[in-house]
């Protein structure tokens, strides 16, 4: 897949089938839309293409973006794995907000052949959301491109949406969030040096510096899976089960919110590594302990419970 800095950088002379959207979270509905784009491109001898936006449009439209479900690198990797060959990351600016649907389509068609726009019934772009499927079908009839409408995917009688996933995640409904996403909810962050208290307690942790505005489940202790080492967040050179604490550390009167991951049976030096952490199951809430020794005892119980939940075999010698 080739990533281009905006619509105007898409390849000249190419035949493109295009879908447009934010694609935060890359949920099952997005995957259906991308599959339809790939199939439409195959049928029309074109290249499947995504136009997405950075920053999130709500930063311009409402003054602040929602909590983001997908790391930017993970989002691009998921789009690529869906079979898309081109992605244009269009800067979302006040000027773009004011651009008409007609002008937006003109830019898509400039120096290249637009053969199809692939949309959901609820999709719309351009000023005041003028570019509905019906409106664009009229433009397409005159300009020679198709509008392919893909029904929204539903789970439990309701459409899958980014808002619905954010609400499920914030409420701690990990199973529902996973059903909607089509994968385990996760975050990606860089491992940074912390206070080193976990190592002093004999239970070292990887402390993640999370990007601002990332969507997270409620504070608590979680059974997790961590992966790292590839060219993008989905390339799992190493994948290790673990137990993670998300929140404050009341036993030590520390009130900043952190994600600390204790990897089961792994002792690598991960400082500076981009770590992907999947939240599999919430085990308990955050609470204060009477002493560091009491906390360590609970950490051991948490690790044992995480092994049980994740099906992790205890560490030991490899049998011949």
Report whether pLDDT(204) > 90: no
Residue 264 and residue 214 share a domain: yes
* Mean pLDDT in residue range 249-268: 84
Residue 195 and residue 154 share a domain: no
**Within-domain flag for 81:** yes
Residue 86 and residue 51 share a domain: yes
Residue 210 and residue 136 share a domain: no
Report whether pLDDT(19) > 90: yes
The verdict on whether omega for the bond into residue 55 sits within 30 degrees of 0, i.e. cis, is yes
Residue 201 belongs to a domain with what CATH number? 2.40.30.30
- pLDDT for 313: 61
- pLDDT for 316: 40
| DSSP-derived secondary structure letter, 189 | E
- pLDDT for 315: 47
> The pTM is what?
0.90
Nearest to 17 by CA among 101, 140, 117, 139: 117
Helix axes 174-181, 162-170, angle to 10 degrees: 160
Q: Is 90 helix (H, G, I), strand (E, B) or coil?
A: strand
Report whether pLDDT(80) > 90: yes
Residue 79 belongs to a domain with what CATH number? 3.40.50.620
Of the pLDDT bands very low, low, confident and very high (cuts 50, 70, 90), residue 197 is low
**Within-domain flag for 167:** no
Residue 200 and residue 125 share a domain: no
Residue 230 and residue 151 share a domain: no
Residue 199 and residue 148 share a domain: no
Nearest to 170 by CA among 246, 75, 226: 246
- pLDDT for 200: 59
pLDDT more than 90, % of the chain: 77
* Mean pLDDT in residue range 258-262: 93
**Within-domain flag for 316:** no
Instruction: Please provide the average confidence, as pLDDT, over all residues in the chain.
Output: 91
Domain extent, residue 112, equals 2-158
47-56, 127-136, 226-235: least confidently modelled range: 226-235
- pLDDT for 38: 98
Report whether pLDDT(194) > 80: no
**Within-domain flag for 46:** yes
Residue 220 and residue 142 share a domain: no
């Amino acid at each position: 897949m080739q990533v281009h800095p905006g619509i105007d950088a898409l390849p000249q002379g190419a035949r493109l089938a295009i879908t447009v959207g934010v694609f935060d979270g890359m949920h099952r509905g997005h995957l259906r839309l991308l599959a339809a784009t790939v199939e439409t491109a195959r049928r029309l001898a074109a290249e499947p293409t995504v136009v997405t936006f950075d920053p999130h449009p709500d930063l311009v439209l409402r003054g602040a973006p929602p909590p983001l479900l997908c790391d930017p690198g993970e989002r691009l990797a998921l789009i690529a794995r869906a079979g898309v060959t081109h992605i244009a990351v269009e800067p979302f600016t006040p000027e773009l907000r004011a651009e008409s649907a007609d002008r937006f389509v003109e830019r898509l068609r400039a120096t290249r052949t637009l053969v199809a726009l692939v949309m959901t019934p609820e999709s719309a772009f351009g000023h005041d959301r003028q570019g509905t499927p019906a409106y664009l079908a009229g433009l397409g009839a005159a300009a020679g491109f198709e509008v392919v409408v893909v029904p929204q995917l539903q789970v439990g009688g309701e459409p899958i949406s980014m808002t619905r996933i954010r609400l499920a995640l914030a409420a701690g409904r990990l199973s529902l969030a996973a059903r909607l996403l089509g994968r385990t909810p996760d975050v990606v962050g860089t491992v940074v040096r912390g206070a080193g208290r976990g190592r002093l307690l004999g239970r070292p942790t990887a402390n993640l510096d999370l990007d601002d505005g990332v969507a997270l489940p409620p504070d608590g202790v979680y059974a997790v899976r961590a992966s790292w080492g590839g060219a993008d967040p989905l390339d799992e050179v190493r994948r290790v089960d673990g137990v993670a604490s998300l929140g404050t550390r009341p036993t030590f009167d520390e009130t900043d919110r952190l994600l600390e991951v204790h990897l089961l049976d792994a002792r690598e030096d991960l400082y500076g590594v981009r770590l992907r952490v999947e939240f599999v199951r919430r085990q308990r809430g955050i609470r204060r302990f009477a002493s560091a020794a009491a906390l360590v005892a609970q950490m051991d119980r948490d690790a044992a419970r995480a092994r049980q939940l994740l099906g992790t075999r205890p560490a030991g010698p490899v049998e011949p």
